[in-house]
Amino acid sequence: MEPNEEPIENSSSKNLLNLQDYCIQQRYHGYSLYDSHNSVIPFEKFGHRISFLTNQVVKRSPINLRKILGVKKGVNPKGMGLLLHSYSLIIQHDLPQVDGLLKASEEIFEWLYENYSKGYSGKCWGYNYDWPRSDGSMFHAYKPSVVVTAFIARGLIAYYKVTAEPRVKELIKSACEFVKNDIHCTIKEGERCYSYTPVQRDLVVNANLLAAELFAYDDFLSNQRKYLKEVKEVLAYTLSTQNSDGSWYYSHSPVTGAPKKQIDFHQGYVVDSIDILIDIYKLENPTYSESIKKGVRYYAEKQFDKTGFCYWRFPKVWPIDIHNQSQGIITMSRFMNLNKGYLPFANTIFKWTLANMKAPAGHFYYQKYPWFTNKTNYFRWNQCWMLLAQVKLMIAMNKEQ
């Protein structure tokens, strides 16, 4: 990749402030990709086929059908975690901020502290909607997952660094109990893989790493290394599933080992998580470093066009998805020291997104196709991720100065 020397636009502060203001004005309520069953219409009572197809149609439609179907906006716990992460970083790094941001962060923390999923071994969180799945089952609202819980934990850790709120330690420690006692774990020959949810055993690469992050955060807060063995075994599984070109497939069958050959923004998730674990434990292992280098190189050179848009699922180009864009900005900013071209490329991704997927009101659209743009306004998927991406980019750019 050739370095792009063009600096970030002078309007960056305005963009950041506009999106902060937008999120606060919404009082954190919004639509989600799979929230069709928050409708007043009981789709599940019409049978699984209609229930599942309705969910897919509502998600994919370029016209937002939710008002017609009586789908109410809701508060997505993962979105709250992303906002807490962004707001805390803005405060910590003295970035441009709207009035009352610390108070807003405190409100979000209190909401998360009170609104966890009940009935599990520890504090955990899930999505705020029933989610019909293709296998005929229903993943019910607030059924927790490692992924939602870990992204909230990232926000909690950022909040702790700003406020030293002691209840953060309580939440993280409790979340570890959820993983240890309620999540399936597959162990084999020095490797381990934690499942995505308590519902079933699976081998999802990024979810496994996020489970390890929860352990690492507990060790970070307690200044211990009691989970180091488990974390190293998670890393061993991760490296064993990396393809020779540096990519990772999304998951593998726990029965046959066959991969689900999906390559998208989860590539960014994976390299970010590996780096977080290395940083917390100060692990000096050239095998880990080489894995990251190969993974980030594949992400930058294969999954993105040089103009700044990310392929949908490599090698499929369309649609251009806002979450692919935001994760590219986050990961390229994170690894600015690996390659002198990565940070300028993060800026290129950001500018492409501004030019092609930003609404006049300041929020971001969902997906772009060759002939039209799906402008559905998803709060967590679009706005929360793009806010975090802008924050990460501005922090990285400030470090370079």
Q: What is the mean pLDDT of the chain?
A: 94
pLDDT per residue over 141-150, tens digit each?
A: 899 999 999 9
Task: Determine how β-strand 138-139 pairs with β-strand 259-260.
Answer: unpaired
Q: pLDDT confidence of 42, banded at 50, 70, 90?
A: confident
pLDDT, average across residues 250-272: 97
Percent above pLDDT 70 for the chain: 97
Give how far Cα 290 sits from Cα of 246, 286, 294, Å.
9, 6, 6
* 286 close to 293: Cβ distance less than 8 angstroms: no
pLDDT tens profile 320-346? 999 999 999 999 999 999 999 999 999
The pTM assigned to this predicted structure is 0.95
Distance CA 396, CA 329 (A): 10
Model confidence pLDDT, tens digit, residues 97-130: 989 999 999 999 999 999 999 999 999 999 998 8
pLDDT the model gives residue 11: 59
* Residues contacting residue 64 through CB under 8 Å, at least 6 positions apart: 31, 376, 377
Which pair of structure tokens corresponds to residue 195? 């499942």
CA-to-CA distance for 343 and 336, rounded, in angstroms? Answer: 5
Q: Which residue has the tokens 């606060």?
A: 24
